[in-house]
Amino acid sequence: MEKNIETKETSREILFEWYKEKGVSFEDLEKLEKRRKEEEEGEEDISFSSPEKSLESLKEKEDEKKLEVKAEVKKLLILAETGGLEEAIKEAQKKADPLVLDVFHDALAMHGAYKKFIGK
């Protein structure tokens, strides 16, 4: 099953912002990104086009949703850090937003980030 490319990008942005806030160096981020690219090597790039009329409106809605999802996932990462991973997962499930849950899962899985929250 192919992952939505936009979801992957959102997860990557959130995780990188999280790492930067925690003081991870740019060099370390580049190493993580290189490893991620190696893992994704061979995946097919699927893109879709939209009619010209609604493209701008659709883009605005997508940008709004992306900002909302990023904010929610950042809150969940903070909760995982302060209250533990289990509590953050329960909160993510309560959101009833499959995109938030998916992006949160991707952010935790990317580069093994979930390991930082185990045992908290």
The first and second tokens of residue 6, run together, are: 């936009």
**pLDDT tens per residue, range 44-86:** 544 554 455 556 666 777 788 888 889 999 999 999 989 989 9
> What was the pLDDT predicted at 96?
84
In the chain, what percentage of residues exceed pLDDT 90?
Answer: 12
Distance CA 102, CA 98 (A): 6
User: At a CB cut-off of 8 Å and minimum separation 6, what does 4 contact?
Assistant: none
Pair of tokens at residue 66: 């992306």
The two three-digit tokens of residue 18, written as one number: 């999280």
- Determine if the pTM surpasses 0.85: no
Quote the pLDDT of residue 91. 92
Q: What is the dihedral of CA 76, 4, 15, 62, to 10 degrees?
A: -70
Report the pLDDT value the prediction gives residue 50, as an integer from 0 to 100: 46
The two tokens of residue 37 are 């690219």
- Assess whether pLDDT exceeds 90 at residue 90: yes
